Each structure stands twice: as C-alpha cells, then as structure tokens.
Amino acid sequence: MELRPLVHVGDMAAAITFYEKLGAEVIHGARDSEWVLLQLGTVQLGLLARPADESRGETPVELHFGAAGPLDQWERRLHRAGLPVTEVTADQDLGEQLCIRTPDGTTVKISQREP
C-alpha cells in the first residue's frame, strides 16, 4: 500500500504551476483535466478539479514533505520561484519547518529530511 494524497483544487492550472515550482511533473492528465497525477520525488500527488465538499466528508489536506538539503537553501529556492514562506515553525518531533500555501490555501510544510 502506498500513500497518494489527493488535493481538491479550485484552479487546476494554478495548482499545477504551484507544484511544478516545487519540482513536480505531471504524469497523468493536463492543466484542463478534472484529475491530474503529479510525481514529486518518490511521492505521487493527485489533484481533483473541484473544491472539497465537507457535506460529503471531504476535508482540507495538509501536506508534509521531507526535503533533502538545508532548509535555508529551500527557503531561497521557494523565494526565487515566487512561493513566499508564510511561517517558519519548530515542531518537537519534526524539527524546523517552512510553511507555504497552495493557491487554494492548503498548508504545505517542508522539513529537513534526515540523511
């Protein structure tokens, strides 16, 4: 079994552009598709072109990525890509994290992956 997060998005093209700036590649679907599958490192991420419907039990998603390399390098990379870090947090278990948001407001946290 593998984890494949699914994120509901209101603007597929904007969501794809956002994840491409993080290094993702579209492996199924296109910017005008209702469903897209992205490859980001070893993780596959599904995007569904409609907002989450809480009445159907659909909930917002928080995505957490373990990054190779120092976080200050990632922060510079994100800044150059036009993805400002909204918050830097420290978690007892996960350590320091960079927080950014997708165009739909989903929280994305990036922490340094242990070698």
Domains of the chain: 6-51+61-112 (3.10.180.10)
Amino acid letter, residue 1: M
Query: What element of type H or E holds 72?
Result: helix 71-80
In this prediction, residue 113 carries a pLDDT of: 64
In this prediction, residue 1 carries a pLDDT of: 40
Residues 9, 41: Cα–Cα separation, whole Å? 21
C-alpha distances out from residue 77 to 27, 64, 71, 72, Å: 23, 17, 10, 9
pLDDT tens, position by position, for the chain (115 residues)? 456 788 989 999 999 999 999 999 999 999 999 999 999 999 999 999 988 887 876 667 878 788 888 899 999 999 999 999 998 887 666 678 899 988 988 888 888 765 4
What is the token pair recorded at 31? 């910017």
Residues 63, 19: Cα–Cα separation, whole Å? 12
Contact 48, 56 (CB under 8 A): no
